A = this chain, B = another copy of it.
Amino acid sequence: MARPDPKPSEGEDAFTRLAALVAPELAAVDRTIRERMASEHAPRIPELSAHLIEAGGKRLRPVLTLAAAKLCGYEGDHQVKLAAAVEFIHTATLLHDDVVDESAKRRGRPTANILFGNQQSVLVGDYLFARSFRLMVETGSLRVLDILADASAVIAEGEVLQLTAQHDLSGGEPRYFQVIRGKTAALFAAAAEVGGVVAGAEEAKVAALRDYGDALGIAFQLIDDFLDYGGSAAAMGKNVGDDFREGKATLPVLIAHAEGDAEERAFWSRVIEEHEQEEGDLAAALRLFARHDALGRTRQRAEDWAARAVAALEVFPDSEMKRALADIAEFVVARGR
**Which residues of A85-131 have CB atoms within 8 Å of chain B's CB atoms?**
92-93, 96, 99-100, 118-120, 122-127, 129-131
Q: Does A158 contact B (CB under 8 A)?
A: yes
Q: Do the beta carbons of A137 and B126 come within 8 Å of each other?
A: no
Q: Mark A127-167, 1 if CB is under 8 A from B, else 0.
A: 10111011011001010011001101111111111011000
Chain B residue contacts of A92, Cβ below 8 A: 126
Q: Do the beta carbons of A161 and B122 come within 8 Å of each other?
A: no
Chain B residue contacts of A125, Cβ below 8 A: 126
Q: Does A291 contact B (CB under 8 A)?
A: no
Q: Do the beta carbons of B155 and A126 come within 8 Å of each other?
A: yes
Query: Which stretch from A41-49, A58-66, A228-236, A315-323 is at the chain B interface?
Result: A41-49
Picked from B123, B130, B131, B157, the residue with its CB within 8 Å of the CB of A41 is: B157
Q: Do the beta carbons of A134 and B122 come within 8 Å of each other?
A: no
Q: Do the beta carbons of B123 and A126 come within 8 Å of each other?
A: no
Q: Does A16 contact B (CB under 8 A)?
A: no
Chain B residue contacts of A99, Cβ below 8 A: 99, 118-119, 122
Picked from B130, B140, B145, B152, the residue with its CB within 8 Å of the CB of A153 is: B130
Q: Do the beta carbons of A134 and B153 come within 8 Å of each other?
A: yes
Q: Do the beta carbons of B134 and A119 come within 8 Å of each other?
A: no
Chain B residue contacts of A142, Cβ below 8 A: 137, 140, 142
A158 CB, min distance to chain B CBs, angstroms: 7
Q: Does A170 contact B (CB under 8 A)?
A: no
Q: In whole angstroms, what is the CA distance A39 to B152 when docked?
A: 13
Q: Does A269 contact B (CB under 8 A)?
A: no
Q: Do the beta carbons of B137 and A153 come within 8 Å of each other?
A: no
Chain B residue with the shortest CB-CB distance to A133:
B149
Q: In whole angstroms, what is the CA distance A120 to B119 when docked?
A: 15
Q: Do the beta carbons of B129 and A126 come within 8 Å of each other?
A: yes
Chain B residue contacts of A277, Cβ below 8 A: none
Chain B residue contacts of A32, Cβ below 8 A: none
Picked from B120, B133, B140, B154, the residue with its CB within 8 Å of the CB of A133 is: B133
Q: Does A300 contact B (CB under 8 A)?
A: no
Chain B residue contacts of A133, Cβ below 8 A: 133, 145, 149, 152
Q: Does A239 contact B (CB under 8 A)?
A: no
12 A-B interface contacts by CB (under 8 A): A44-B164, A120-B160, A120-B164, A123-B160, A123-B163, A124-B160, A126-B129, A127-B157, A134-B146, A134-B153, A137-B142, A137-B145
